[in-house]
Amino acid sequence: MQTALSIAMDAFAYGMALFIICIGLSLTMGLMRVVNLAHGAFAMIGGYIASYVARDLGLGYGFAILLAMIGTVLIALPLERLLYRRIYDRSELSQVLMTIGITFCVIGITNYIFGPTLKTIPLPTGLAHPIDLGFRSIAGHRLFVIASGLVVAGGLWFLIERTGFGIHLRAAVENVAMARALGIRTEIIYAASFALAIALSAFGGVVGAEFLPIEPYYALRYMVTFLVVVSVGGAGSIGGALAACLLLGAIDVTGRYLMPEFGNFFFYLAVILVVCTFPRGLMGRARSHG
């Protein structure tokens, strides 16, 4: 029972960390129709910045998160203007190739600058210790990740479904030409959503560093995981991404606890089964691509 509970808590926290990183990718893929395999690379940049700020400059954890998000967005925006904007309406293969190329460049350059070692992000004392919940105590960091995940999910849902920006974004996704004709500046909308997705990935990279350690090949190692999660959930759906992260996180963590020698076997088996049964993902949007 104790094991089951601790596995469940770990799985839940891991799923939430995945969710924070992947929801940005889900947005770029579902709403902007870009298969951004470089998403993990931006999470990695966020992690490196946070590690530099927290460990080498000695600033607080909150500062590290904030600076990581701002720094990553500042790096990503020129890329959006120069590179991504040219592949918005190209084939999936071009998008995959371009973003794999960006990932390789990011890995090569960050390791050239920061050196090929594992980067740690020191946790503040409040999060490093276990917190007593009454029936059992769990690591404060796990609680923080779960809470952040819920806040992100709720905030995004509100932003997309209930605000003017969300309406403009959905209009631009639905029909770019018509949205432009109605005076919506779609380029700014796209850039803003891209920045939002990148900021979330940096945030997720930092808070999820306990589960997915920041290391030289981070962007490549988890590229497939992120892509798979989004595709299982159905691109562009917040609920779908949440469901996929929790499901796959649970399968992954349980498999690692109970049958570590199988590695990711069950994870990918589940992926194949889900994608074959729901080709559009668990809660994919019904309309077709393009």
Partner 1 sequence: MAEATIRSAAASRPGPLLRDLLGLGLIALGGLAGYLLFPDNLAFLTRLISVALLVLSLDLIVGYCGIASLGQAALYGAGAYTAGIACLNGVTEPFLLVLIGAAAGAMTGLLMGAVMLRAHGLPQLVLSIALVQLLHEAANKASWLTGGSDGLSGMVPAPLFGVFEFDLWGRSAYLFGLGLLLVVFAVLRLVVRSPFGMLCRGLKEDPLRISALGIYAFPVLLKMFVISGAVAGTGGALAAIATQVVGLDSVSFELSANALVMLVLGGIGHLYGALVGTVIFMALEHVVAAANPFHWMTLVGAVLIAIVLFAPRGLSGSLDQLAGLLTRQGGRAGR
Read off the amino acid at residue 82.
Answer: L
Could you tell me the two tokens for 110?
């960050």
Residue 211's nearest CA partner among 41, 64, 9, 29 is 9
Rounded Cα distance between 181 and 200, Å, is: 30
Q: Give, in order, the Cα–Cα distances in Å from 64 to each of 2, 34, 156, 208, 258.
A: 34, 29, 22, 13, 35
Rg (CA), the chain: 19
Residue 250's nearest CA partner among 3, 2, 8 is 8
| Contact track, partner 1, 245-274, x by CB under 8 A | ----------------xxxxx--xx-xx--
| Region binding partner 1 by CB under 8 A among candidate stretches 107-115, 127-135, 153-161, 245-253 | 107-115
Report the relative pairing of strands 137-139 and 130-132 from DSSP bridges: antiparallel
Q: Applying CB under 8 A, does 81 fall inside the site for partner 1?
A: no
Interface pick for partner 1 out of 55, 111, 143, 254 (rule CB under 8 A): 111
Q: Applying CB under 8 A, does 101 fall inside the site for partner 1?
A: yes
Interface pick for partner 1 out of 60, 62, 108, 126 (rule CB under 8 A): 108
Backbone φ and ψ of 121, nearest 5°: -120, 105
Q: Applying CB under 8 A, does 32 fall inside the site for partner 1?
A: no
Backbone φ and ψ of 100, nearest 5°: -65, -40
Residues in region 144-183 near partner 1 by CB under 8 A: none
Interface pick for partner 1 out of 49, 202, 235, 282 (rule CB under 8 A): 235
- Taking the complex as a whole, how short is the minimal distance between the CB of residue 51 and partner 1, in angstroms? 18
Q: Applying CB under 8 A, does 184 fall inside the site for partner 1?
A: no
Read off the amino acid at residue 246.
Answer: L
Interface pick for partner 1 out of 57, 60, 81, 116 (rule CB under 8 A): 116
**22: three-class secondary structure by DSSP:** helix
Interface pick for partner 1 out of 96, 159, 176, 191 (rule CB under 8 A): 96
The DSSP output letter for 288 is: P
Interface pick for partner 1 out of 29, 139, 196, 206 (rule CB under 8 A): 29
- Taking the complex as a whole, how short is the minimal distance between the CB of residue 114 and partner 1, in angstroms? 11
Rounded Cα distance between 51 and 45, Å, is: 10
Could you tell me the two tokens for 235?
């691109």
| Region binding partner 1 by CB under 8 A among candidate stretches 12-20, 45-53, 96-104, 241-249 | 96-104
Q: Applying CB under 8 A, does 103 fall inside the site for partner 1?
A: yes
- The contact set with partner 1 (CB under 8 A) reads 29, 35, 83, 86-87, 90, 92-94, 96-98, 100-109, 111-112, 116, 216, 220, 224, 227-228, 231-232, 235, 261-265, 268-269, 271-272, 275-276, 279-281, 289
